[in-house]
Amino acid sequence: MTGGSGGYVPGRHKIDDYGGGGFRFADMSHRGSILALPSGVRAVPLTSAAEIDDSMIDSALSESGGLDVFVVGTGKDLLPLAGGLRAKLRAAGVGCETMATGAAVRTYNVLVDENRRVGALLIAV
């Protein structure tokens, strides 16, 4: 899965590294933002947290088996997730943690290690 949107790698993967406009996971690199779920990691065509919309949240909520926690990495700086999107997650019983992408990657990896049902939307930095 390198470059562009539309790529998909099945399975649960920790993020090995981030920066330079992308991420390393599953012994490969990807340039751009990603949505990491227990079922797999997919490329998403987002370049800023302002572009996060209902379709991104719906993709996370459609995860088979559901999620306990959804981590949002908003890029270099912490930016709030829109109230309506946060409310949608809360209504589905999914906790939401929003933070800068570096902190989000670290949090996601810890939750994966704890075998939690976690998803992450990570904006590339």
Q: Is 117 a member of any domain?
A: yes
CA neighbor of 13 nearest in space, from 117, 98, 122, 109: 109
Give the Å distances, CA to CA, from 10 to 30, 53, 93, 94. 14, 23, 25, 22
Q: Is 12 a member of any domain?
A: yes
Domain count, the chain: 1
pTM of the model: 0.93
CATH number reported for the structural domain that contains residue 84 in this entry: 3.40.1230.10
Q: 79-107: per-residue pLDDT in tens?
A: 999 999 999 999 999 999 999 999 999 99
Supply the pLDDT for residue 4.
41
The residues pairing with 10 across neighbouring beta strands, listed in sequence order, are: 40
Domain around 50: 8-122
Q: 9-62: per-residue pLDDT in tens?
A: 999 999 999 999 999 999 999 999 999 999 999 999 999 999 999 999 999 999
Q: Is 1 a member of any domain?
A: no
Supply the pLDDT for residue 7.
85
Q: Is 3 a member of any domain?
A: no
Q: Is 2 a member of any domain?
A: no
Q: Is 87 a member of any domain?
A: yes
